């Protein structure tokens, strides 16, 4: 099965002038202020910063998970405030194996925007290629806010139950120990959704954060690639997007995100 690498950007592309608008998505679940602090300390020249909690998620409620989808119009306005419109060429990066850049990719793709390309290897690969960090923060290049449709390609808990009843394969993207219920560092309940299989999101990349080749991705997914319908989740709808990105590269653009993921599911227990 061939792999579409057009959604990947190589570090060397950013060593000179680029026509792309660059977005820094670095973030830490353990310290929500760390990503923005790292951005201020140094980033790829011209990059703007988008924060997982403030920009790529909506308000947290009783249900819906730890990182609910943002309101579509609010998200479109956030993008416009960065100069991003529906057809803007965007390159996004982080420093955690696509964990947060892929969330931006999914949100933009789901909303009908031109999907951003993700920097293979992230910020570390840019520096290793000879890139120089910049501390200048670009002035906002405000764009017109388009009328935003609803997000597509996701389900809530009721949609998940309907998809499972129809025979969909459910994929848990969390680490094996969390899937098995051996440890749970974030959510109040350990375990996984009944019927799910485990494909940890880290299997999409190497330890250095580089995307695996087509054979490596096919090995990551195995027979699950042949499932008629795939529904992917993680802890809160963030790292599942890395798995969804890899599926898109392999031609499976039809997979569904369970947006609230485990943190939504266990809120009903």
Distance CA 147, CA 255 (A): 25
Contacts of 8 (CB under 8 A, 6+ apart): 117, 118, 119, 120, 211, 249
Torsion of CA 67, 93, 118, 127, to 10 degrees: -160
The SS3 call for residue 119 is strand
How does DSSP assign 227-251, residue by residue?
Answer: -SSEEEE-SSSSTHHHHHHHHHHTT
Distance CA 75, CA 58 (A): 9
Closest CA to 108 of 79, 74, 145: 79
Centre a 10 Å sphere on the Cβ of residue 245 and count the other Cβ atoms it contains. Answer: 23
Q: Residue 44 in contact with residue 130, Cβ under 8 Å?
A: no
The question of whether 134 is a catalytic residue gets the answer: no
The SS3 call for residue 224 is helix
Contacts of 181 (CB under 8 A, 6+ apart): 190, 191, 192
> Residues 82, 155, 234, 266: which is the catalytic one?
234
| Distances 174 to 143, 159, 258 between C-alpha atoms, Å | 37, 21, 13
Distance CA 97, CA 93 (A): 9
Positions marked catalytic: 234
């Amino acid at each position: 099965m061939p792999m579409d690498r057009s959604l990947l950007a190589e570090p060397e592309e950013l060593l000179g002038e680029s026509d792309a608008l660059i977005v820094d998505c670095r973030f830490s679940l353990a310290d929500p202020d760390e990503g923005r602090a790292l951005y201020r300390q140094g980033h790829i020249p011209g990059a703007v910063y988008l924060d997982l909690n403030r920009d790529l998620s909506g308000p947290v409620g009783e249900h819906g998970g730890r990182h609910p989808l943002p309101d579509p119009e609010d998200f479109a306005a956030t993008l416009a405030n960065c100069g991003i419109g529906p057809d803007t060429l965007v390159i996004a990066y982080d420093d955690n194996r696509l964990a947060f850049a892929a969330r931006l990719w999914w949100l933009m793709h789901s909303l009908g925007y031109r999907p951003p390309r993700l920097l293979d290897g992230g910020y570390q690969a840019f520096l290793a290629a000879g890139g120089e960090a910049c501390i200048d923060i670009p002035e906002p290049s405000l764009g017109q806010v388009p009328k935003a449709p609803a997000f597509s390609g996701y389900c809530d808990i009721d949609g998940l139950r309907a998809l499972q009843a129809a025979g969909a394969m459910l994929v848990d993207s969390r680490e094996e120990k969390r899937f098995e219920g051996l440890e749970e560092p974030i959510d109040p309940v350990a375990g996984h959704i009944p019927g799910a299989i485990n494909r940890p999101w880290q299997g999409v990349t190497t330890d250095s954060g580089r995307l695996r080749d087509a054979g490596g991705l096919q090995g990551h997914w195995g027979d699950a690639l042949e499932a008629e319908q795939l529904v992917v989740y993680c802890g809160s709808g963030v790292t599942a997007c890395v798995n969804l990105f890899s599926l898109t590269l392999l031609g499976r653009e039809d997979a569904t995100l369970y947006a609230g993921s485990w943190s939504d599911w266990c809120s009903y227990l």
